[in-house]
Amino acid sequence: MIDEALDHFCPGDYILLQNEISNVDYAIRAAKTRGLNVAFNPSPISKELVTYPLELVDIFILNELEGQTLSGTDSTEGAAVLAALAGKFPKAAIVLTLGDRGAMYHGNGQDLICPAHKVPVVDTTGAGDTFCGYFLACVMKGKPPQEALESASRASALAIGKKGAAVSIPALA
């Protein structure tokens, strides 16, 4: 099924993988073999994660807990987690979400911070998925990382203001 799905991609395309499917390790390798850019969200964290070929990932999009686990750091400070991830995966861009403290980015010689929008929280289900989707959509359109962070942050803020997961994801307009 993975090979069949990848047949619809072209070299240079992006694929977002999450740790919610089986055979993630195979999907990463197969995608890179086909010349794809791999974005990876390691949610949910699993013991198998350390066996994946994570050195092939182009963009990590993860929260603090996932970042701590993946980097092996005990620090709870966003900048320390980001630095640990950057040291472990020097070729990858890293997007670290910090909940109500915003998001951080490291990659392409840039270190960026995007504050969160302060909004009433109704339901956080789907906020991470919304963030991932909006961030990657901007990257695929050639937008700079700061603009991608801001767009993803706005979309996530709108998403947590509604009950539900898929129904809370805002339209681009």
Describe the strand order of the beta sheet including 14-18 as a list of residue ranges. 14-18, 37-41, 59-63, 93-97, 103-107, 110-114
Catalytic: 129?
Answer: yes
Strand locations in 20-170, DSSP E?
37-41, 59-63, 93-97, 103-107, 110-114
> CB neighbours (10 Å) of residue 121?
12
**Marked catalytic residue, from 25, 74, 111, 129:** 129
Taking alpha carbons only, the member of 115, 100, 101, 119 closest to residue 146 is 115
Residues serving a catalytic function are 129
